[in-house]
Amino acid sequence: MLINTRKKYSPQKLSDFVFPDQFSKEVIESYINGVEDQPLILHGTNGSGKSFLQKFLPDAIEKRKANVKNTTCADLRTANDVHKIYGRNKMYDRFFTNNEQRFNYIIIEEFLVTDPRLINAFKIELDTSLGVDLTILSTNNFDKIDTDIVTGK
């Protein structure tokens, strides 16, 4: 007999999640409580909960089911692809978000960008969408992410 332990024992909501340390828990709580609005980079080994947090954090921030735009880094091959996922009217977005949410959520899984044109496109979009979009990136390769993307400069 086979039992799917992943479904049975996986957290079903954010409050079920076991954080690796107090600092990580406080960072996530700062987003939920509206203290933080910077892009978030979740990093760790396979199975550490990055995808789970990407899935449930927007709902926790909104306190309801959030509308989220999901993509994988592999789908972003050109700078134009990057601009398209953020491609709305920025002035309009300053006043109105998707479904009257606090943020427009953009989730990018397996984030690893080495092409300078893509890096620059991300820097532009992350800067111009700050406070309107919340970008949540996950990666197993934190040490390979451009320093300016990590530090927000």
* DSSP for 9-64, written as a single string: HS-SSGGG---SSHHHHHHHHHHHTTS--S-EEEE-STTSSHHHHHHHHHHHHHTS
The count of other CB atoms within 10 Å of the CB of residue 76 is: 21
- What digits encode the pLDDT tens for the residues 106-149? 999 999 998 999 999 999 999 888 888 999 999 999 999 999 88
pTM: 0.87
- What digits encode the pLDDT tens for the residues 42-66? 998 888 889 889 999 999 999 999 9
- What digits encode the pLDDT tens for the residues 8-21? 667 778 888 888 89
